[in-house]
Amino acid sequence: MDSPSGFGSEQLLLALKGQKVVIPNLQNIFRKWPQGVNNELENNQLVVDQYLDSLLPEDDKRLAKLKASDFGFFGAAWWPEAPKENLRIVTIFSIWVFIPLGTILKDQLLIGKSYSFGMMIFKELDSEAGILLNDFATSQIFRADTVSYVRHCLGFCSYSYGECKVPQNHIIRSFEMIGNAICKVYNEDQRRNLLNEIELYIEMTEVEQEIRLSGSLPSVQSYWKYRMGTSAVRVSLSTNEYSKEFVAPQSIFLHISMRKLWDKANEIIWISSVNDIMSVKKELSQGSAESLIPLLFIESGSAQMAVTSAIEMLRIAVEEFDECATKLTTTYINDEKASIPLQYFIEACQFNCTGNLNWSLITKRYGIVAATRWWEFYTDVVKDGGGKFAFEVELMHRKYGSIIRASPDELHVKDPE
């Protein structure tokens, strides 16, 4: 369980302080995969802002921070083909899963009435309300309340005599709207799959909290094992069928290649963007050493080698995803009821991966600035009806000068001489 070389969090952070790393253009790894943005982007951003307003009606500072993350774009990039209402539900569900609980409940913490973390980003909780990490018992109550209410809302009531105990926590209660929408579309197998992934996620947050409370850094292997659950990526993958309202036969999800494909999509998303390459700057600035890059640094002694190793893991995961997709396509090629929804699901997972990376490159959440072809696509095709790339370049010249980088391999020069 303990990390190699006897490193503690403080020693590891000190060792990493001041080191510089170069992260190459990760989009090259996904050059054969689809990417896009939903035509309902602007409406989705409005929906997200309204939802966040309902969660934080009297906390302008935290509200502004969350809105700056642009979860509306997150949803539109993850599910570019979802109809308007489906996009609204899957985006709000993602917020319900990913939004930092400490940010929402810090005021309640001050009066001793908050729960600890559960269905939220662990690292954010650490920075916003770290004191809660020591309250394992209250965390367990939150987890138990969440699981019970989710089961109820998905039609698997866990209450005696059918009586539903409505949770006091308003974040947990907000799942009712999500559950009602999902139940209108999903059959029992689909709802069961979603519930299983949510329960796995919550179970793994318990494991992660216990490791953190132990005071030791995990090994890469230990971290990898629980991160596959706490990333919550599998939870979001479970909504892909809802996003386009298709039904893949349950037999597909029991196939060994499909189980591996889910694992690879999970690895791709949390390695490449959510946590652990693109967010390394934010993680370290918040004093958090429990992520892949710092843990790989312990083994290699070099921050750049750690990043290079993580990128190689990402490349391999993408290749293995494609291998699984090919095997599944070949297996079900003559099954008309399975082949079409299978292709929908594979493509949806690819959109999830590229969308998450593209969101990571433009969100203010990670404190990075990236010039990418995605930005060119967005400004020229999507933003305000498209055709805005040249205009945006002009604005960049006004702000940054006569020479700017408009994409990873393209410089724009504006010099009257």
- Alpha-carbon distance of 331 to 339, in angstroms, equals 9
Q: How confident is the model at residue 171 (pLDDT cuts 50, 70, 90)?
A: confident
Q: State which residues form the domain around 394.
A: 371-417
Report the range of poorest mean pLDDT among 12-16, 179-183, 399-403. Answer: 399-403
271 and 405 fall within a common domain: no
Same domain, 226 and 361: yes
**What are the tokens at 135?**
């309250």
CATH of the domain at 297: 1.10.600.10
Contacts 24+ apart (CB under 8 A), 158-161: none
Examine the domain organization and report whether 320 and 411 are in the same domain: no
Whether 127 shows a pLDDT value over 70: the answer reads no
Do 341 and 386 belong together in one domain? no
384 shares a domain with 266: no
DSSP-assigned beta bridge partners for residue 404: 412
Q: Same domain, yes or no, for 231 and 377?
A: no
| 355-382: b (≥16 Cβ within 10 Å) or e | bbbbbbbbbebbebebbbbbbbbbbeeb
For the stretch 73-116, pLDDT in tens is: 999 999 999 999 999 999 999 988 875 443 333 433 332 222 22
User: Total structural domains in the chain?
Assistant: 2
pLDDT of the residue at 102: 39
User: Which tens digit of pLDDT belongs to each residue from 60-75?
Assistant: 887 888 888 899 999 9
Whole-model pTM? Answer: 0.81
161 with 211, same domain: the answer is yes
Per DSSP, 131 falls in state G
Average pLDDT of the segment spanning 18-34? 85
CB proximity list for 133: less than 8 A, separation 6 or greater: 116, 117, 125, 126, 209, 212, 213
162 lies in the same domain as 283:
yes
> In terms of Cα–Cα distance, which of 297, 293, 295, 274 is closest to 366?
274
The pLDDT, as a whole number, for residue 44 is: 97
Q: What is the percent of the chain with per-residue pLDDT over 70, rounded to a whole number?
A: 71
110 & 223 share domain: yes
d(CA 217, CA 214): 9
Distance CA 320, CA 263 (A): 10
Residues 341 and 377 in one domain: no
Same domain, 238 and 335: yes
| Alpha carbon distance 120, 100 (integer Å) | 5
Three-state SS for 154?
coil
CA angle 161, 167, 173 (to 5 degrees): 110
Tell me: do 378 and 348 sit in the same domain: no
